[in-house]
Amino acid sequence: MIQIFNKSLPFSGKTAIISNGKSYSYAALHQASANFAQLLLEETDDLAEGRVAFMVNPGFDYVRVQWGIWQAGGIVVPLCLSYPLPSLRYTIENSGASVIVVSPEFEETLKDLADELACRLVVLGKNDQAKTLKALPEIDDARGAMILYTSGTTNLPKGVVSTHANLNAQISSLIEAWKWSSDDSTVCVLPLHHVHGVVNVVSCSLWAGASCEFMPNFSEKAIFDLIESQRINVFMAVPTIYFKLITYWEALPKVEQNAATNSLAKLRLMISGSAALPVSVMERWKNISTHLLLERYGMTEIGMALSNPYDGPRVAGHVGYPLPGVSVRLSDEGEIQVKGATVFKEYWNKPESTAESFTADGWFMTGDIATIDELGGYRILGRNSVDIIKSGGYKISALEIEEVLRQYPGIADCSVVGLPNDEWGELVAAAIVTKNQIDDKALHAWMREQMPAYKTPRKYVILADLPRNAMGKVTKKDVVHLIQ
Ligand code: MCA
Ligand code: AMP
């Protein structure tokens, strides 16, 4: 049986999920996900690692679909809700999904694509009633469970395949390190096509028998209201979100600031990750909330690897120590390398990329550069690729954006870089060399149709030529200086 399902069985009477103003018990989740598995098994006894892509709103529906796919033996491929059609098409085609599940409002978006690719289209609330009642298949831990797409040093995102064993190891490590229990309650404000939201928040809370509330859209006010209602005691977010919460709190009248601070102080745990937490954000948040944020480090391919201690001292600018069950080392060049049951199985259909990302003795090469202090604590210094940008906690490939930009009429050459930015970590910016006059607004609007908003450049600077080294290679550090 799926571990997370199994682990949560003793909590059947408790609230598992709060979404759209409704509470759902674990029993309701068990029942609804088993029903969804039956629907997927109408024409087969086992999905046998078939991919099921789903574009489903955060909340009870998302989890019942996710658990249903797992129980039917399939691999979940969550789609980003803000993706424009070309990005959705890429993910669905690349993963070879044979079934697409949508919340009703996404039916129109994906109907034609489902037809074209001969995928079965399941619309929640419309054609999602199971007609069969079969024994659910036995799921071996070694089976693929999830494919998440991550941008890397290639121009197109790669699918990271994690097995059930990988997810079980990732979740149980965090349950132990951060002392999750069934007394906890949290809120998910993060997107559900990445590890931070899917594993750290939703899966950990449900594995522990805690409750998880969902917020459909990010809203500073809604987060403060929820914290003041004292319905949650654990909160996780990316540094950009803490920056936004600080800005919001600073604009509140004094009496509301005090009320917010009092409620924040009652939380058990506040965590930051997915991108470097600036020391200034950590200090300002400590003054506002009384919490010294627990910063941790992870990656789609490995889940979480390093974490500041739950009980011991948390050091600003440091990401702490290896998590339970995770082995971490630094190469001679200072690269973080990781081994253990949490490490993913493979890049989907990319055996060469998979092989290239491991050392000969089986350690995953993260591409992040760090140092270790005398106590064994890690501090991230940067990345070994200038082509990877982190903005708002999202990993973005400069090469992917350059590839798209080059297709725009009038662009002769381009170079995409990340500019340091207090709020977003890095801001995506493009230096472009043009053949004729280009209207920035039209270019930006076109880019928004090609890729999700978080990937599109926020600044375009026209240069006569791109700076290059003696070998003719564009020197991105110089691009940053030229357009900053
Ligand atoms: C959005 N906007 C941006 C960016 N994103 N501007 C500059 N840079 C950006 N990156 C603009 C939009 O275009 C819009 O402006 C305005 O901000 C609001 O857009 P919206 O999409 O509504 O943004 P938001 O809802 O305020 O989102 C901010 C956010 C979001 C909540 C911080 O970026 C977010 O959810 N980030 C978390 C990503 C995440 O979960 N990463 C974890 C990856 P306009 O209206 O003018 O267009 S997993 C991972 O990294 C590993 C495993 C790990 O360690 O966790
Ligand atoms: P992703 O591929 O979206 O899973 O992003 C993983 C990357 O996020 C890592 O390789 C790091 O570069 C970065 N990252 C995650 N957590 C931290 C952190 N606490 N400090 C600095 N970088 C981080």
For the residues of 375-403, what is the DSSP string, one character each?
Answer: TS-EEEEEES-TTEEEETTEEEEHHHHHH
pLDDT of 154 higher than 80 = no
Q: How far is the CA of 149 from the centre of ligand 2 (A)?
A: 14
The number of the ligand 1 atom at minimal distance from the alpha carbon of 238 is 37
The number of the ligand 2 atom at minimal distance from the alpha carbon of 296 is 19
Q: Decide: helix, strand or coil at residue 91.
A: helix
CA distance 131 to 124: 15
Under a CB-based contact definition with an 8 Å cutoff, are residues 257 and 228 in contact?
A: no
Bridge partners, 397 (sequence order): 388
Q: How far is the CA of 82 from the centre of ligand 1 (A)?
A: 11
- Per-residue pLDDT of 381-402, as tens digits, reads 999 999 999 999 999 999 999 9
Q: How many other CB atoms are there within 10 angstroms of residue 171's CB atom?
A: 25
**Mean predicted confidence (pLDDT) in 60-72:** 98
pLDDT grade, residue 46 (50/70/90)? Answer: very high
Residue nearest to atom 5 of ligand 2 (CA): 299
Q: How many other CB atoms are there within 10 angstroms of residue 7's CB atom?
A: 18
**Mean predicted confidence (pLDDT) in 218-236:** 97
Q: Do domains 3-139 and 185-382 have the same CATH topology?
A: yes
Ligand 1 binding pocket includes 194 (Cβ within 6 Å): yes
CA distance 78 to 160: 12
Give the model's pLDDT for residue 155: 76
CATH superfamily of 185-382: ANL, N-terminal domain (3.40.50.12780)
CATH number of 386-483: 3.30.300.30
Max CA pair span of the chain: 68
CA distance 347 to 74: 17
DSSP 106: G
**At a CB cut-off of 8 Å and minimum separation 6, what does 116 contact?**
none
357-360, long-range: CB within 8 Å, 24+ apart, which pairs? 357/301, 359/331
Residue nearest to atom 5 of ligand 1 (CA): 454
Residues recorded for the chain:
484
Under a CB-based contact definition with an 8 Å cutoff, are residues 265 and 285 in contact?
A: no
Q: Decide: helix, strand or coil at residue 121.
A: strand
CA distance 405 to 474: 16
Give the model's pLDDT for residue 406: 96
- Per-residue pLDDT of 329-377, as tens digits, reads 999 999 999 999 999 999 999 999 999 999 999 999 999 999 999 999 9
Which residue of 294, 449, 454 sits with most ligand 1 atoms within 8 Å of its CB, as the best mutation to test the pocket?
454
Residue nearest to atom 3 of ligand 1 (CA): 454
State which fold the 3-139 domain adopts.
Rossmann fold (3.40.50)
Residue 383 tokens read as 């990345």
Q: Which ligand is nearest to the CA of 425?
A: 1
Q: How far is the CA of 24 from the centre of ligand 2 (A)?
A: 33
Under a CB-based contact definition with an 8 Å cutoff, are residues 354 and 346 in contact?
A: yes
The per-residue pLDDT of the chain, averaged, comes to 96
pLDDT grade, residue 131 (50/70/90)? Answer: confident
The number of the ligand 1 atom at minimal distance from the alpha carbon of 197 is 40
CA distance readout (Å), 184 to 146, 205, 461: 26, 8, 48
- What's the Rg (C-alpha) of the chain? 23
Residue 268 tokens read as 């058990």
Q: How many other CB atoms are there within 10 angstroms of residue 473's CB atom?
A: 10
Ligand 1 binding pocket includes 358 (Cβ within 6 Å): no
Ligand 1 binding pocket includes 168 (Cβ within 6 Å): no
pLDDT of 427 higher than 90 = yes
**Mean predicted confidence (pLDDT) in 243-268:** 98
Which residue of 297, 319, 400, 424 sits with most ligand 2 atoms within 8 Å of its CB, as the best mutation to test the pocket?
297
The number of the ligand 1 atom at minimal distance from the alpha carbon of 428 is 8
Closest CA to 232 of 268, 185, 266: 185
Ligand 2 proximal residues by C-beta, below 6 Å? 150, 195, 273-276, 295, 297-300, 319, 366, 368, 380, 383, 390, 395
Under a CB-based contact definition with an 8 Å cutoff, are residues 159 and 94 in contact?
A: yes
Closest CA to 375 of 294, 318, 449: 318
E strands present in 325-443: 326-330, 335-340, 346-347, 364-372, 378-383, 388-391, 394-397, 411-421, 425-434
Closest CA to 215 of 16, 20, 453: 20
Entry pTM: 0.97
Indicate the domain borders of the chain. 3-139, 185-382, 386-483
Give the model's pLDDT for residue 408: 96
CA distance 355 to 346: 9
